[in-house]
Structure 1
Amino acid sequence: MHCMYIMGKTGDKELAILLMALQLACKATSRACNKAGIAMLFGLAGEVNSTGDDQKKLDVLSNEIFIDALTNCGACSILVSEENEEPIFVPQEKAGRFVVAFDPLDGSSNIDCNVSTGTIFAVYEKTSDKPATVDDILRTGNDIMVAGYCMYGAATELVITFKGHGVHRFTLDPSLGEFVHIQAHIAMPEGGGKKIYSCNEGNSANWDAAIKSIIAKWKDPVKPYAARYVGSMVSDVHRTILYGGVYLYPADAKSPNGKLRVLYEGFPMAFIMEQAGGAASCGLFKGKLQRLLDIVPKTIHEKCPVVIGCHRDVEAVLNEYKLLGLA
């Protein structure tokens, strides 16, 4: 991913520097994932992260890679990572005008069995010229400037959207050590694409009536949807954007606020999905149907339900709540 390409899209040199730091961290994380078995990086690190999840060794390493790259690039003021309980304030002598929220290694429970993992990130601009505060990132997803994810699978793919410039797809060429631009203006398939739903049906006993009902309809034997679930949000959303369908991680009786984090999972993926022509909702959240990007987070690790994908299927979920009189 060449700096000149980014500058041509944004006209912003400081943002280009930030994105070069992000893609460098993605390359280093990709290399670590590829060498995990050889370098003895499988298994737990013996700690839990900010949201109580067990940390894998690669969770810790990838987090250090991203913090180091972003702290030293000269473009960031605050970093919010899934792996850190508190926001990271960049020293003033190195601080820039951007704020970044990221999940350094999404789907890390899949690491030891060699299933795809990924990185998710969202970039905001500070609201003033004063030193940054946490309020610079506790904003709606509508304020995101750049969002993206990098998937570490059979190939390393980077999908990124610049506000107003569409969604772009890159693949890492290991022989060059560079991300190569392979697709511009990615759009979800016309009409919603393939009929695929993606969710963890192990939680179905705790779902509300509308989610149970719509999944049952999608299992209609006459015209059934296919079920596909990797368990890595990056992988499942990437497939949804390219093939169509819907990805759901709804609220349930055990997790009334959902399980995915707003700032570095829900927001960036919703932003990308909408930029690709899809839809993004929370479903029924705190008593009403809500567009995901309109949420105003109060804390950096706040959670929300997620229903994202093509308009056909997201609207089917929302209509089910209305049909049953729940919203």
Structure 2
Amino acid sequence: MPYHRITMTHFLLQEQRRKGASGSFTALMTDIIFACKMIAHEVNRGALAGNHGLAGSENVQGEDQKKLDVLANDIFMHMNALGGNYAGMASEELEDVHAVHGAADGKYLLLFDPLDGSSNIDVNISVGSIFSILRLPEGVNTIEEAAFLRKGVEQVAAGYALYGSSTMMVITTGNGVNGFTLDNNVGMFMLTHPDMKIPEDTKEFAINASRSRFWEPPVKRYVDECQAGKEGPRGKDFNMRWVASMVAEVHRILVRGGVFMYPADSENMKKGGKLRLMYEANPMAFIVEQAGGLATTGRGRIMDMAPTHLHQRVPVILGSRNEVERLDSYHAEFDGK
């Protein structure tokens, strides 16, 4: 029955009691919930509110910003500064870290991609927000980049909001993965997808096929084998998907399995890869691993990487365990290991 569902706030309170923790984590998650609800509202208004199109500016990555990129970033920054729970924040859209004024007691750091997949905005395809939470290191009083440069294994929590046919939030605090759907009638996220698990096997893969001319041999081998279907070495047919929104890709994998790839290739390798370690790869790797999947660069676990700078890029291969292991083995074979 819908009236027997658990709200996200109650779920967090239950987790807090179970761990014997203070209420600060529930409070800081509440700030994120409000931000995501506000962004969902603006995304849903779309062209009616004049939210489509370019903002006429570039972000720190050198990418053209959409109007909703800028608006979503402003919402995330404002709403998560109000509670005083965060000592500092870092956004994919901004070059430097942001110290939260008046948050002398803030014990956490927030990293976020305010609107992932924003190239889909004008064509009304799913977009989302991604976030990662770290503890402020002991003895740190000045909020600088170095405080954020921590391995993914040190994340306290991670999650994403998906703005699609319904608005969902999926989170992990290191104890499995749970999904919540926004009930617009009451304005609350309700637990609808408890204990999400990624199947170990799959018949789906997601990759940007327009970049096939740049792929390394291990990736090309894998995709060729999948496309060969029942008559090929895999002995089964595969479907290929590509949404150009990491949130949408990962959500599909959480719901029904699959593997997502934005690998190193001959064109992006000089940058380290395509996706950002701190804002995209680490939080998604945490979620995927907590759901029973794997997340690697093809040559090592993503969450074991020691970051060197805030906007570092990495190759990403994540999803169903057996497929990711296969891709890792192809890379190892190619590298002569």
Q: TM-score, normalised by structure 2?
A: 0.92
1:269 match:
284
Which deviations, in whole Å up to 9, do the C-alpha atoms of 1:155-205 show, x marking residues without a partner? Answer: 001000012x2101000001111101112211112x32x310101010110
Structure 2 Cα separation of the partners of residues 67 and 326 of structure 1: 46
Partner AA of 2:310 in structure 1: I
2:229 match:
221
Unaligned regions of 5+ residues in structure 2, if any?
Answer: 1-6, 231-235
State the secondary structure of the residue aligned to 1:37. Answer: helix
Partner AA of 1:214 in structure 2: Y
Question: Is 1:291 matched with 2:312?
Answer: no
- The one of 207, 212, 215 aligned to 1:204: 212
Contact 1:249 1:305 in 2 (8 A): yes
Unaligned regions of 5+ residues in structure 1, if any?
Answer: 284-288
1:178 match:
188
Q: TM-score, normalised by structure 1?
A: 0.95
Structure 2 Cα separation of the partners of residues 324 and 99 of structure 1: 39
Structure 2 Cα separation of the partners of residues 109 and 18 of structure 1: 29
State the secondary structure of the residue aligned to 1:33. Answer: helix
Note the C-alpha offset of 1:221: 2.9
Partner AA of 1:25 in structure 2: A
- The one of 100, 117, 131 aligned to 1:107: 117
Does the C-alpha gap of structure 1 residues 218 and 93 become closer, same or farther in structure 2, counting only changes over 3 Å?
closer
2:144 match:
133
- The one of 42, 66, 74 aligned to 2:84: 74
Contact 1:246 1:308 in 2 (8 A): yes
- The one of 170, 177, 180 aligned to 1:159: 170
Contact 1:248 1:306 in 2 (8 A): yes
Structure 2 Cα separation of the partners of residues 275 and 218 of structure 1: 26
Does the C-alpha gap of structure 1 residues 129 and 72 become closer, same or farther in structure 2, counting only changes over 3 Å?
farther
Structure 1 Cα separation of the partners of residues 193 and 274 of structure 2: 32
Partner AA of 2:182 in structure 1: L
Does the C-alpha gap of structure 1 residues 234 and 2 become closer, same or farther in structure 2, counting only changes over 3 Å?
closer
Structure 2 Cα separation of the partners of residues 240 and 4 of structure 1: 27
State the secondary structure of the residue aligned to 2:229. Answer: coil
**Structure 1 segments (4+ residues) deviating >2 Å:** 1-5, 92-95, 132-136, 322-327
Note the C-alpha offset of 1:253: 1.0
1:143 match:
154
Structure 1 Cα separation of the partners of residues 51 and 138 of structure 2: 41
Contact 1:81 1:104 in 2 (8 A): yes
Partner AA of 1:162 in structure 2: T
Note the C-alpha offset of 1:2: 4.2
Structure 1 Cα separation of the partners of residues 148 and 331 of structure 2: 31
Q: How many residues align?
A: 319
Contact 1:99 1:123 in 2 (8 A): yes
Structure 2 Cα separation of the partners of residues 99 and 83 of structure 1: 16
Note the C-alpha offset of 1:326: 4.6
Contact 1:72 1:94 in 2 (8 A): no
- The one of 233, 237, 256 aligned to 2:246: 233
Structure 2 Cα separation of the partners of residues 186 and 24 of structure 1: 23
1:242 match:
255
Bigger shift: residues 317-326 or 254-263:
317-326
- The one of 290, 304, 329 aligned to 1:319: 329
Contact 2:85 2:103 in 1 (8 A): no
- The one of 17, 32, 53 aligned to 2:63: 53
User: Aligned Cα RMSD in Å?
Assistant: 1.3
- The one of 272, 275, 278 aligned to 2:293: 278
